[in-house]
Structure 1
Amino acid sequence: MDSAPQNHASGDPDLPPVTGYRLLLPSEWAQVPLRHGTEEAVRRILDDAFTRLPDDAPTDRIGPYKRELERRFRAAVTNAGKTNALDLYLPVKPMDGAILGASILVTESLVPRPAGRRTAETEPTEVAVQLLSRDGVEDADLSSGQIDGALAVRREHVAGASAKKGADLASRRVEYMVSVPGDPDRWFVAAFSTVGGGNPQDELAEALVEWFDAVMANFRWSRG
């Protein structure tokens, strides 16, 4: 699945400029672009979901089910759109007979740094950590490394349930912030969230976190 945030200059003069990113996801997951083509993608996903309903399902239940499915799906897309994100990825087909309670939200963050500190080697990591810490999350696990040649900072934590935010259950969250090559003030952010099997620290949640780490290990930039 490809998506192009914006055109960026490349940090290596021998490489073409970065034009987007690529996440390799199973066919059970669907991409919803949040800046262009959102309604077309939502309609296509819902229509596909409706075609998988049993032909012998009671007609008096099909209508309410479709309406509730569409309401919940559109609510998730609307909430994601409020964050000025680029893309939302959701599992829309059953895996082992069940739809996973998980999502991936992709955003961009522009974090200008003081001109006098642009050459400091530790500055990019400091900026990433500051950005990840500014939302008040406590007791988070932080680590850093590289993904496709770019600095990456990873944060993992458990977010409690919040009726005000539409979160009925606590969730396990893993965020990767990756510095865009050639544009040190711009960061790519992929935020994964799952409720697991109802407990954000159960075996399913653990397995899904490991899966998302593998997805990000295979993250690649798209270049012009």
Structure 2
Amino acid sequence: MPPEQKESVSSASAPVTGYRLILPDDWAQIPLRHGTEEAVRHILDEAFSRIPPGSPEDKVGPYKRELERRFRAAVSRAQEGNALDLYLPARSEGSVNLGASIVVSETILPRRRGPAAQADPTDIAVQLLASRGPGNADLSSGELDGALAVRHEHTAPADPDRGAGLGSRRVEYIASVPDAPERWLAAVFSTVGGGDPRDELADALVEWFDAVMATLRWRRG
């Protein structure tokens, strides 16, 4: 289910083939199924090109290596979950900010027969969320572009073994893909805020992500 940033949604009767989100220009998209290396190289080259000419190599070399290491680690972690796309904010001066991210993935449930096939979609969404993270979190439901969606918010502790040196604020939307009961789209936002996942910056970024998710539209073939 590849993303689509500009193309309008076609006939509502056609099957869903993708999604689109409206994001600021300073957010970079990294596809995780195809074209990953090209996207990674482009973002890094753009970041490195912004380094002022004449900067001392003993400073520039370690900076470039560490930025690339951290950036590729973030991409690898997203790929571990078989995600579709990773979005990261790239500042106007070309550096890559790893303090926030959006990961979009698709879950396909096995087809069921009998009464279980008629399970309430909200129950299915909650079960999917329960399998991903803590149960003691904020949970609500609504719609995204006419499709059932469940919103799940919680704070995750630091996990240095996975490259997370700070705790993070996480918001996950799981939406039922229209006319395809076995398909679910998940968008997960994560931020460390200003170093505290409950600070004012984290609050503002969570509100921003909720606004971004309100722009989700299904792409139909």
TM-score normalised over the length of structure 2 = 0.90
Q: In the alignment, is residue 194 of structure 1 matched against residue 191 of structure 2? A: yes
Higher mean C-alpha displacement, 57-66 vs 192-201: 57-66
**Structure 2 spans left out of the alignment, 5+ residues:** 5-10
Note the aligned Cα RMSD (angstroms): 2.0
SS in 2 for 1:164: helix
Check the 8 A contact 1:173/1:194 in 2, yes or no: yes
Superposition deviation, residue 165 in structure 1 = 2.1
Which residue of 2 is the match for residue 84 of structure 1? 82
Tell me the amino acid that sits aligned with residue 3 of structure 1.
P
Corresponding residue for 1:62?
A: 60
**1:144 equivalent in structure 2:** 141
**CA deviations over 1:150-186 (Å, ceiling 9, x no partner):** 0000000000011222210000000000001111011
Aligned to 1:117: 116
**What runs of 5+ residues in structure 1 fail to find an aligned partner?**
5-12
Structure 1 CA distance for aligned equivalents of residues 81 and 19 of structure 2: 19
Instruction: Find the counterpart in structure 2 of residue 30 from structure 1.
Output: 28
Change (3 A) 1:83 1:108: same
Q: Which of 174, 179, 182 is the matching residue for 1:182?
A: 179
Distance 1:139 1:145, change over 3 A: same
Q: Residue 125 of structure 1: CA displacement?
A: 0.4
The percent identity for this pair of structures is 63
CA distance in 1, matches of 2:133, 2:170: 14
Instruction: Confirm or deny: 8 A CA contact 1:94 1:100 kept in the other structure.
Output: no
Partner amino acid, structure 1, of 2:212? V
8 Å CA contact retained: 2:172, 2:188: yes
For the residues of structure 1 that align with 2:138 and 2:204, how far apart are their CA atoms? 17
Counterpart CA distance in 2 for 1:32 and 1:162 is 23
Runs of 4+ in 1 over 6 A off after TM superposition: none
Contact 1:111–1:127 (Cα < 8 Å) also in 2: no
Contact 1:156–1:174 (Cα < 8 Å) also in 2: yes
Q: Quote the offset at 1:119 in angstroms.
A: 3.6
- Taking structure 1 as the reference length, the TM-score comes to 0.88
Q: Does the C-alpha gap of structure 1 residues 46 and 146 become closer, same or farther in structure 2, counting only changes over 3 Å?
A: same
Structure 1 position 118, deviation (Å): 3.2
